[in-house]
Amino acid sequence: MDPEAFAALRERIRGALLAEAPAALEASSRWERRVRVREAVARLLERDGLILSPRDAARLVGDIADTITGLGPLEQLMRDPAVTEVMVNGPERIYVEREGHIERVPLRLEGDAAVRHLIDRVVAPLGLHVDEGRPWVDARLPDGSRVHAIIPPLAVNGPTLTIRRFTRVPLGAPDLVRFGTIDEGLLQHLRHAVASRKNLLVSGGAGAGKTTLLGVLSGFIPRGERIITIEDAAELRLAQEHVVSLETRPPNIEGRGEVSVRDLVRNALRMRPDRIVVGEVRGPEAFDMLQAMNTGHTGSMSTVHANGAPDALARLEAMVLMAGTGLPLAAVRRQIASAVHIVAHMTRAADGARRVAEVLHVHGLQGDELLVAPAFAPPPDLGTANGTKLRPEWT
């Protein structure tokens, strides 16, 4: 069928369905809604005496079902297992990340209003809303994917939507070695550190693989220990049996009811944890995390955005100072020196590959400065963890 004729038919059938068969949208599950949409479309085609080829009929039903019960043109991207991130920068600027590479896709929406409608469709079932009073939202979809949306006036070029896909089968330690993310020797070194209850910090830029490495390291925690995980959007899936997962909550439409990472860290301390795993520290909660690490909850771990392992420690200092405790910098450094034992830094190369590029051990203080030393010596031809040898003092 001619593309323009097909588009016109699709819009006509979609409008008729919404007007004449709203019950198709009232099923309890998304799967059942799609089945009802399929049945209603077939009835409308038969009523109007329209005969389509099996291919056009399947495409018509799929497009209408995606539009009414799903994410419209984005549904095909969300069904692609190779897509790890979907980025809608505007109605005609839609990008995805596949295997570490960002590429533009030949899809389009019908203007900014369609992008806004898509954002509302995504966040409304979560009890959230975006408007000029609160022009952004950060939440988790039912399948675990993370969604962020921001609209004008903050988004100057129009409403923007970003969805980070949820990986149903998490990567394990053998996968990281196979992909070249980490050397086997260094992985075993970190495994031993976790078993020895060292406090670890994983640093890196956005999309560098911090959460993936944190999940693998958390998997080394011995079974039988009580683990409390704290995240903005629950992504960690630990194999251990005794795991309590906590997730933050944004404020509601009235601006009330927010539960922050700091709130959850404080609650976790009352839940008799053996270890606390914080998905990411980015503010005053860093102080509470250090307190936990310094008060018997050794073997805890977290991630932080940073450009390098030393920079991660500097950022941690800044975040603790943001907590408003009134502690001088020297006291903050003493807290960090006694709490953080190892910093593993992740990088993302131009080809999309993620690697553990640096691992530092924190020895304490030397004067007023943190005393750190690398846990491994990278070969000059690689500069990454691949093929590296552990320094003798850390084996």
Q: For the chain (length 395 residues), average pLDDT per consecutive 10?
A: 72 71 56 73 78 78 70 80 89 87 86 87 80 84 84 91 79 87 90 93 89 91 91 81 88 78 90 91 89 86 92 93 86 92 90 86 88 68 42 38
Same domain, 334 and 213: yes
Same domain, 242 and 330: yes
Listed residues 50, 70, 90: the one ending a domain: 70
Same domain, 309 and 272: yes
Listed residues 118, 143, 164: the one ending a domain: 164
Give me the pLDDT at residue 18, please: 66
Which residues sit opposite 15 in a β-bridge? none
Q: What is the CATH number of the domain that holds 128?
A: 3.30.450.370
- Full-model pTM: 0.72
Domain count for the chain: 3
DSSP output for 291-355: HHHTTT-TT-EEEEE-SSHHHHHHHHHHHHHHT-----HHHHHHHHHHH--EEEEEEE-TTS-EE
Same domain, 38 and 177: no
Q: Which residues contact 82 (CB under 8 A, 6 or more apart)?
A: 98, 99
Give me the pLDDT at residue 96, please: 93
Same domain, 211 and 106: no
Same domain, 156 and 185: no
Give me the pLDDT at residue 384, please: 42
Same domain, 144 and 131: yes
Structure tokens at 94: 């839609």
Same domain, 199 and 292: yes
**Domain span at residue 152?**
75-164
Give me the pLDDT at residue 29, please: 61
- What mean pLDDT, rounded, does the chain reach? 82
Give me the pLDDT at residue 389, please: 45
Same domain, 118 and 209: no
Same domain, 55 and 82: no
Hunting for tokens 């078993």 — which residue is that?
Answer: 195
Listed residues 44, 70, 96: the one ending a domain: 70
| Alpha-carbon separation of residue 375 from 17, 280, 345 (angstroms) | 63, 23, 12
Same domain, 252 and 271: yes
The CA distance from 71 to 351, in Å, is 30
Same domain, 239 and 252: yes
Give me the pLDDT at residue 236, please: 81
